[in-house]
Amino acid sequence: MGSRSADKIKFRSFDDLFGEQEPKGAEKESTEDQVVRIPLAELHPFKGHPFRVIEDEEMMEMVESVKQFGVLVPVIVRLDQNGGYEVIAGHRRKRASELAGCADIPVIVRELTDDESVIAMVDSNIQRLNILPSEKARAYRMKMEAMEHQGVKGGQHTAAVLGEASGESARTVHRYIRLTYLVPELLELVDQKRIPVVVGESLSFLKEGEQELVRDYVVQRQVFPSKGEAELLRIESGKGELSAEKVQEILCRNKKAAGITISAKRIRDYFPESYTKEEIEKIVYSLLDSWRANGSG
C-alpha cells in the first residue's frame, strides 16, 4: 500500500483521480487516460464496496439506456492481483450492462493505491440520492481510515475534511461512522427509519451483548427507543448495570398499550365472587407470564 503526505491527499481531488476536467488542448500523457473496452467477466467489485447495486426501477431505466446508447460514461478500474480489474466507480453501470446482454464495457484504467481507490470510490457514490444510513456509515468509515493511512490528522480534523467534501458537518460524519458499531439487526432498523440515526448513535456505545438485549426487546415488543431512552441505556451500560431487566424498565417507561381496554366486569365473570381484586390480578398475571414463557408473547 503506497504512502503519501497529507498535502498530496488534500490536493489530489476527485477530478484529478478520474481525469474528468482536462485543460483544453492538453495532450494525454499516458495510456491511463485512454478509454478501452474490457470484457465484463474480467471486472470484479471493489472489496468491501458499501453501496447497494439493486435491480430497481432506476436500474431498469439504466438497462434500457445501455441497450439504446451504450455506456456513455466509462467505468473507472484498476488492475487487481488476479489479473483482472477491480471496479472503483461504475458498479451500477457494470450491472446494467450485464442485464442488457453486453459482452464488454468502456473503462479507464487507473494506477491507484488502496487508499486512493477507497477515496475515489466513496466520492463517486456519496452524493447519490437514496443512500441508506448503513451505506453512508460504512463509506464514511472506509474513507476516514484511508485518509488517516495517507497522513491526514485523525479524529475531528479528518471528519471535518471528510464532511467538507460531502457537504456535511464533522459531527454528522462522526454520527454516521458510529452506526458501523451497531449489531446488524439494529442497523437494519435504522435503515428502515424505525430507529433514528441519533438514537442509533447512542445505542452504538453499548457493548455487543447489551445491544443484543435491546434488539431482542425491540423486535419482540415493537417498542423503539427514544433519544432520551437510548441515553439512559448508555448511562447504565457505563455503570456496568445494563441487564435485560434494566432494558425492559427503561424501554417500557411511559409506554402505554394504546387502544387496549379490558372490562373489569368481564374479567370478574371468570372468577368466583369470593375472589378479591388482588387475587384476580395475581392469577391473570400468572397466566400471562405462562403464555409468554411458552413463546406466544
pLDDT score, position 296: 59
The closest alpha carbon to 175, from 212, 217, 151, 203, belongs to 203
Number of alpha carbons in the 13 Å side-chain half-sphere of residue 244: 5
Residue range 9-125, CATH number: 3.90.1530.30
Q: What is the pTM of this model?
A: 0.67
Higher-pLDDT residue of 31 and 236 is 236
Q: Is residue 255 very low, low, confident or very high in pLDDT (cuts 50, 70, 90)?
A: low
Q: For residue 197, which of 250, 132, 251 has the smallest C-alpha distance?
A: 132
What's the pLDDT band for 1 if we cut at 50, 70, 90? very low
Domain ranges for the chain: 9-125, 130-178, 182-251
pLDDT given at position 156: 64
Confidence at residue 282, expressed as pLDDT on a 0 to 100 scale: 85
Block residue for cell numbers 439493486: 54
Per-residue pLDDT of 2-49, as tens digits, reads 333 333 333 233 444 444 434 333 344 444 568 999 999 999 999 888
pLDDT of residue 59: 92
Instruction: Confirm if 258 and 228 have CB atoms less than 8 A apart.
Output: no
Rg (CA), the chain: 27
Given pLDDT bands bounded at 50, 70 and 90, which one contains residue 202?
A: very high
pLDDT given at position 266: 79
pLDDT digits (tens, 9 = 90+) for 283-297: 888 888 888 777 655
pLDDT at 235 (0 to 100): 94
Across the range 218-233, mean pLDDT stands at: 93
Residue 283: Cβ within 10 Å count: 14
- Give the whole-angstrom CA distance, residue 208 versus residue 203: 10
**80-139, pLDDT tens digit by residue?**
887 899 999 999 999 999 999 999 999 999 999 989 999 889 988 887 768 899 999 999
Residues 144-171: tens digit of each pLDDT: 888 888 776 655 667 787 777 778 888 9
Q: For residues 274 and 190, which has the higher predicted lDDT (pLDDT)?
A: 190
CA distance 220 to 28: 61
Instruction: Say if CB 287 and CB 296 are below 8 A apart.
Output: no
